[in-house]
């Protein structure tokens, strides 16, 4: 599933030389990128706000007072005091961080996030190319993708907020790469116990007919719930029996930062569509597109099929903040280096996605929303705010079309004429 000959054949010698020079400088490029990012964090006035990391650390400490889900953080977010919205097991995982100086935790968290991004990129390449992905050239390519990926909106805002998204994506990636059902299922259940969104990876196991991994992911998640009830029963009961599913508690559904289909539809029609007929219809259409995209990919395309599932999870979740979309980095890798990389449509789609997330369209549009709570807005802004949803649908549509196109070409290709045996 490497780059097709048609893509490599069009490279001129000068282009190849520039690529080779870039790859030689890849370690330096990443080092400069990391230093620039840490300088921004440490020297800019708001660089170490890390509001979500405060929620993880200070919120988990509220366990000691028995009021985890009454906690809010508002020092840098006065328009929306941030509550602890995660499963109670997450508070148990984060609690030890409370005993360390927050500045140290913040610096280490950002550096570890960058390290996790590199591993996510490296594993994406290996999932795509197999053992070829271990070659030094592909290690250099992974360094370049990491250096660039740090400045895309999903990762940039993950670093700004001190979010956990890259770690969760890495956990899911390690899980699907493992051939051991108990490792694969256990990891997915564990990360879903910290934040519910990675649970969609269980669908990947089902579609792959990895039944043991699928079942054990549910069992492992159940164990995180059981541990929560055992150790902090009152908070666990409050979350699972009252707070689970309350999207309004997570944040403003209509904010442009919410790039789920529910957020996009709500902005277009001017009110929260909730889980009504319009949302259900959209989910049915997206599920159908995901199904046909899955069918259009080769069964050996492990990265492509994983992306089909993860995109569906981001789209149908009630709230998918722009920093949840870290799976766009593996998507770009698949488009640029995957089985369809030789087609013009893949390059166009990759270019559009790269420009969008480097600019940060939701970030730009956030300056035009009067408050994060206002849903109704001018039509142009509402449609522009659907950028990730439109891009994900375009990804599905392209995979379906290109997959069928390549199959038709393969069917029309003449059978090789056997040589006579001398």
Residues 260-304 pLDDT 10s: 999 999 999 999 999 999 999 999 999 999 999 999 998 899 999
What mean pLDDT is reported for the chain?
Answer: 91
Residues 20-35 pLDDT 10s: 888 989 999 999 999 9
Residues 118-155 pLDDT 10s: 999 999 999 999 999 999 999 999 999 999 999 999 99
Both structure tokens of 197 = 């969104």
Owner of token pair 């840098």: 76
**Residue 380 scores a pLDDT above 90:** yes
**Residue 100 scores a pLDDT above 60:** yes
- Which residue ranges make up each domain of the chain? 251-404
> Angle at Cα 120 formed by Cα 47 and Cα 306, nearest 5°?
125
- DSSP SS3 for 196: coil
The alpha carbon of 389 is separated from its chain's Cα centroid by a whole number of angstroms, namely 13
Convert 337-360 to b/e letters by CB count within 10 Å (16 or more is b): bbbbbbbebbeebbeebbebbeeb
The mean pLDDT value for 76-103 works out to: 93
The mean pLDDT value for 48-57 works out to: 95
Q: What residues have CB less than 8 Å from 125, skipping those under 6 apart?
A: 133, 138, 141, 142, 333, 337
Nearest alpha-carbon partner for 144 in 336, 363, 10, 274: 336
**Residue 414 scores a pLDDT above 50:** yes
Query: Could you give the C-alpha distances from 338 to 113, 126, 128, 221, 335, in angstroms and in order?
Result: 25, 11, 7, 32, 6
Query: Could you give the C-alpha distances from 112 to 58, 99, 159, 273, in angstroms and in order?
Result: 20, 18, 10, 38
The mean pLDDT value for 75-93 works out to: 91
Q: How confident is the model at residue 12 (pLDDT cuts 50, 70, 90)?
A: low
Q: How confident is the model at residue 70 (pLDDT cuts 50, 70, 90)?
A: very high
Q: How confident is the model at residue 77 (pLDDT cuts 50, 70, 90)?
A: confident
| pTM across the whole model | 0.92
Residues 202-225 pLDDT 10s: 999 999 999 999 999 999 999 999
Q: How confident is the model at residue 74 (pLDDT cuts 50, 70, 90)?
A: confident
Based on the number of CB atoms within 10 Å of its own CB, is 68 exposed (0-12), middle (13-18) or buried (19 or more)? buried
Owner of token pair 């009504």: 276
Dump strand ranges (E) for 167-236. Answer: none
Share of the chain above pLDDT 70, in %: 93
């Amino acid at each position: 599933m490497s780059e097709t000959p048609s893509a490599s054949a069009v490279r001129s010698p000068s282009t190849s030389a520039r690529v080779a020079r870039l790859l030689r400088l890849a370690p330096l490029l990443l080092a400069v990128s990391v230093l620039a990012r840490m300088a921004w964090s440490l020297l800019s006035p708001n660089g170490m706000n890390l509001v979500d990391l405060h929620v993880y650390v200070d919120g988990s400490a509220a366990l000691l007072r028995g009021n985890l889900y009454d906690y809010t953080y508002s020092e840098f977010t006065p328009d929306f005091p941030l509550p602890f919205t995660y499963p109670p097991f997450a508070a148990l995982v984060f609690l030890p961080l409370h005993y360390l100086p927050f500045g140290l935790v913040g610096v280490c968290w950002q550096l570890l996030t960058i390290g996790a991004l590199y591993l996510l990129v490296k594993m994406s390449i290996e999932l795509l190319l197999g053992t070829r992905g271990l070659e030094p050239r592909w290690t250099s390519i992974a360094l370049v993708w990491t250096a660039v990926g740090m400045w895309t909106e999903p990762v940039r805002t993950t670093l700004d907020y001190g979010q956990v998204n890259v770690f969760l994506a890495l956990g899911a990636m390690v899980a699907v790469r493992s051939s051991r059902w108990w490792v694969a299922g256990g990891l997915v259940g564990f990360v879903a116990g910290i934040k519910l969104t990675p649970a969609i990876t269980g669908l990947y196991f089902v579609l792959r007919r990895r039944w043991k991994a699928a079942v054990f992911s549910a069992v492992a998640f159940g164990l995180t719930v059981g541990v929560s009830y055992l150790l902090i029963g009152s908070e666990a009961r409050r979350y699972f029996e009252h707070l689970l599913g309350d999207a309004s508690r997570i944040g403003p559904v209509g904010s442009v930062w919410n790039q789920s289909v529910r957020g996009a539809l709500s902005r277009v029609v001017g009110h929260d569509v909730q889980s009504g007929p319009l949302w259900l219809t959209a989910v049915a259409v997206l599920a159908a597109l995901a199904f046909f995209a899955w069918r259009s990919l080769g069964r050996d395309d492990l990265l492509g099929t994983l992306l089909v599932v993860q995109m569906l999870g981001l789209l149908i979740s009630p709230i998918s903040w722009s920093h949840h979309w870290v799976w766009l980095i593996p998507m770009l890798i698949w488009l640029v280096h995957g089985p369809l990389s030789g087609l013009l449509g893949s390059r166009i789609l990759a270019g559009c996605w790269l420009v969008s997330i480097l600019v940060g369209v939701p970030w730009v549009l956030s300056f035009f929303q009067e408050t994060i709570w206002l849903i109704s807005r001018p039509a142009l802004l509402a449609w522009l705010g659907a950028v990730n949803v439109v891009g994900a649908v375009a990804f599905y549509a392209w995979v379906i079309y290109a997959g069928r196109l390549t199959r038709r070409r393969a069917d029309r290709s003449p059978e090789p004429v056997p040589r006579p045996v001398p």
